[in-house]
Amino acid sequence: MTMKHKYSKKVRILGYVIIAFELLTAVTWFAAWYGNGMVLMSIQRLAFGGGSQSFGFVNSTGGKSLTVPVTGGGFFPVTVSASLLVLNSQNQTLSQVQSSVTVSPGETKNLTLTVPNSVISSSSPLSNYYLHISLEIMSLYNLVSIGAKIELNTSVFSGGSKS
Amino acid sequence: MNRIVKAVLWTIPPILVFVVLPSLLIGIVPTSLITQVDALLGISISAFIMSLAIFGIVLATLSALQTWAYKWSIVKPVAGALHMIASYILLLFILGFGNPITFGTANIGISPTALGGQTSGMGTINITIISTFLALLVGVAVAMKTVQKYMKYVEDKRFHKLNMETKAQQAPPPPLTPSTP
């Protein structure tokens, strides 16, 4: 008959540490994704309908601005960074603007991208240009993030280009 | 339970999850949809399923090997460590959307033209999903588990040796004089 033995305290403690570590990893990861998902949902609702606000470029002092209200959700602060590249029909970069905001859960901040007036002539609407928009939603020091880069050759915002 | 029966039983979950179910799923889904998804995401679903099947077979083999091996045999911790490493590479493969080298970063290039004429004006969409956090922490857990497996093996080996010595002492002593017929 083979006798059974108990593992030493060291081995058992390491086992408990591993289980606790795995649980903590899973919970933190899901919590981070939940926060990122909440922010993504709020932006998606704004961009693709469902909200009362229009989403598009408006004339502001110094240029044409695109403002995205970002509302934090979940349990961790979430950083949203966006960049906008304006290209002409020859695919030459005319301007690159970047902006980022960090929102705590429940907090709302505006993320504004302004294309200077010097880049876009007043006679030409923004829809005549090519736009590359990058949006990144990050939490936990950029270790959990989702980013999207969209290339547009006309304005496809629901509110349209307001030149 | 017999070690061989146990080993065979432990091959069922990985084979079922990574070989049988994906193959069934791809059989149910219409071919046109698969072709459309391939074009939209720029990856081959069939190749992805095939890679999953390979992972499934490797995991099943290693599962069987570590169940079959005796606790005090070096085969057990080695097969266990290899099983965890293979599982970890599989996780990186899934997080990296078919590319485990990116360490938890998936780059998905979506081509809206594959969707038809609904997205006029839109060029390409690149989506990046970074799960480095998960990849990093699971890596640490795998390392800790490997250490734990080795510690268990050392203790099991020592106990087995002790057990054998006790059994040898308890056995009746051999006769001093050979019995004559």
Distance from CA of B122 to the nearest CA of A (A): 4
Judged by average pLDDT, the poorest of A18-32, B63-77, B114-128, B141-155 is B114-128
- CA separation for the pair B88, A21 (Å, rounded): 16
Provide the pLDDT for residue A127: 62
B-contacting residues of A 142-161, CB under 8 Å?
Answer: 142-156
Q: Which of A77-91, B50-64, B110-124, B153-167 has the lowest mean pLDDT?
A: B110-124
* pLDDT at residue A61, as a whole number: 76
pLDDT, average across residues A42-71: 71
User: What are the beta bridge partners of residue A85?
Assistant: A96, A132
pLDDT tens, B100-147?
999 988 888 877 666 555 555 566 778 888 888 889 999 999 999 999
Nearest CA-CA distance, residue A22 and chain B, Å: 7
Q: What is the mean pLDDT of residues B152-165?
A: 89
Any idea of the CA torsion for A35, A41, A42, A44, to the nearest 10 degrees?
140
Q: Kindly report, residue by residue over B103-113, the tens digit of the pLDDT.
A: 988 888 877 66
Indicate if the pLDDT at residue B1 is higher than 90. no
CB B87 within 8 A of CB B56: no
Does B17 score more than 90 pLDDT?
Answer: yes
Chain B residues within 8 angstroms (CB to CB) of chain A: 119-134, 136-138, 140-141, 144-145, 147-148, 151-152, 155-156, 159, 163
Chain A: give the shortest CA distance to residue B116, in Å: 16
- The residue ranking higher by pLDDT, B64 or A116, is B64
Between CA A10 and CA A160 the distance in angstroms is 65
Whole-prediction pTM? 0.79
A121-141: b or e for each residue (b if 16 or more CB lie within 10 Å)? eeeebbbbbbbbbbbbbbbbe
- Average pLDDT (A2-27) is 88
Tell me the per-residue pLDDT of A117-162, one tens digit each, with 9 for 90 and over.
Answer: 777 665 566 666 777 888 889 888 777 888 888 777 654 443 444 3
- Give me the mean pLDDT over the B41-58 stretch: 89
Tell me the pLDDT of chain A averaged across its residues. Answer: 78
- pLDDT (average), residues B74-91: 93
State how far the Cα of A90 lies from the Cα of A94, in Å rounded to an integer.
10
Of the two residues B35 and A54, the one the predictor is more confident about is: B35
CA closest to A128 among chain B residues: B121
Q: Are A78 and A39 in contact (CB under 8 A)?
A: yes
What percentage of chain B has pLDDT greater than the value 90? 42
B127–A143: do the CB atoms touch at under 8 Å?
Answer: no
